[in-house]
A and B are shown apart, each in its own frame.
Chain A
Amino acid sequence: MGIIQVRNLSLAFDGKRILNQLNLDFREGSIHAIVGPNGAGKSTLASTIMGLSGFRGITGDIRFKGESIVDLDIHERARKGLTLAWQEPARYEGLAVRHFIAASTPDKSKESVLDALSRVGLNPLEYYDRAVDKTLSGGERKKIELASILAMRPRVVILDEPDSGIDVESLERIFDAIKILQQQGTTVILITHSLTVLKQADHAFLMCHGEVLDRGDATRIIQYFEGRCLPCHHKNEPTLNGSGGTA
């Protein structure tokens, strides 16, 4: 049984089906990737699992450790151990990095904040008192958001496009942090259309047009994604069209 189970999940906006009868299991402690082209429904799935506003009108079920969470608010899901890092992290005028990260930690201690900053490769003393605002680059904000997640020690984290807007060196730091998360027992779900990110995963789901076309070992999905998925041909590959089964 996966730590997160998605069952017959569908979501439609204005009559258009964005997610279509999805069934997915995310194994505890693994690094999963949800891969697919733009518009596949990857970020929508992430938003739906987290319960963000605008993504609550679903049919089907989402279970966390066997318990349905579809009626829970975002913070209630987070308190169970589920969290999300956005593709474009929020900016907060005046909110200090130390307060932002401490909000995630159980003990709120300075040590936890400094440790989290150093683990994502940021000089803790340089960033501790800075604001999470426009004076930080996109890559810095991405690292600070990841630091807040490391400090939170969640059971499951969804990272939406973790490579978006950052340089190669910073990406290596983010991959290191993903490994740290896995070592501390966190299940990681990577939302991506990048082969580089996909290669960090143990297991992958291939999505297109709101459906899961394939699933399995990441190396196999990489081969398909690399060779055939771009541009998407799935409409001409009916044998790949399926949403049943589990990881």
Chain B
Amino acid sequence: MSEALIQEILESIQLHSSALDSPNVAHLVIHSNKVVSSHALPGLEIQVRELAEGIDADITVTEGTVIEQPVHMCFGMLPQEGVQRIVLRVDVQPKARISIIAHCTFPNAVNVRHLMDAEIRIGQEAHYTYFERHVHGKEGGVIVVPKAVVDVGKRARFHTEFELLRGRVGQIDIDYETTCRDFGVMEMTARINGTGEDVIKIREVGHLIGEGARGALTSKIAVRGNARAEVYNKLTASAAYARGHVDCKEIVQDNGVAMAIPIVEVNHPKAHVTHEAAIGSVDTRQLETLMARGLNEDEASEMIIQGMLS
């Protein structure tokens, strides 16, 4: 695979190629259904099989392995049309630690579908951090459907963030479900900026089934133009001292439409779950403060929204 293709992919996500050059930094770059570049490290095993329209990958961090530097994963398609299906199994074995930065880039998409099915197992006392940043083009011709089922072991930690702030969303349909065992911690955050005719659907479900398990589901969404957002967050707690919080903030402008459906379910008298949802326009006091410093209404709104989404 040509260096030029790698360069083009990296440029679209504003990642300098030197970020992948270090022998201490693992990476995996996938274009359509091809492995463009990869680099593993001792204790980090990456196995990839090509599919007709994507890849099937196993990522294993062996027991006790600590990957010091974040691993870069790039999934993308440069053509205007196509399908990329990612089937991913991640096994973070006990006491292992890994942080992944996933860049998903579709800069020229007119009719592209990006589908991900992930199974993630985080072993006892292991830590897994997954930050997924999407970069889309201006056309909004992308359908993104990421699904993940996550099992967080005893005293393990799972932290995931999904960010789609650059380019048009197109259509996105996130479906994550996480189960958290004794004293495990799960944090799931989605930050998405919808404009035009974008459609955003988020379904995040967390089950705190272990004693002392903790979880937070956070969604921060902006909808402008004719964009629509529907956020369904469900957090259940069924063990003593399980603690959780659901937080949904959505800013609506123009003809945007936002809906939040927070569900909390507690099945143990010593568990505790809270939720808050705030949907509406930009706060007047915030807006007028910035306008009193000389920003016009559009500039002030943009600053407030970018802050909320950051």
Binding site for B on A (CB under 8 A): 50, 52-53, 73-75, 77-79, 83-84, 86, 89-96, 99, 103-104, 131, 145, 148, 152
Contacts and interface: CB of A to CB of B under 8 A. Distances in A.
B23 interface: no
B276 to A, nearest CB: 12
A75 B295 contact: yes
7 contacts: A73-B296, A75-B296, A78-B291, A86-B289, A92-B286, A92-B304, A95-B306
B15 interface: no
Contacts, number: 69
Given A79-B294, A103-B295, A152-B294, A74 B288 contact: yes
Interface string B293-310: 111110010011011111
A108 B193 CA distance: 25
Nearest to B307: A95
Interface in B251-310: 283-286, 288-297, 300, 303-304, 306-310
A138 to B, nearest CB: 14
A75 B297 contact: yes
Given A90-B283, A90-B286, A73 B307 contact: no
Interface of B: 249, 283-286, 288-297, 300, 303-304, 306-310
A178 to B, nearest CB: 17
Nearest to B310: A94
A93 B284 contact: no
Nearest to B309: A94
A74 B303 contact: no
A131 B307 contact: yes
A90 B309 contact: no
A75 B289 CA distance: 10
Contacts of A104: 293-294
Contact of B307 (A50, A83, A93): A93
Given A99-B307, A103-B303, A131-B307, A148 B293 contact: yes
Contacts of A103: 290, 293-295, 303
A90 B292 CA distance: 12
A78 B293 contact: yes
B297 A99 contact: no
B307 A90 contact: no
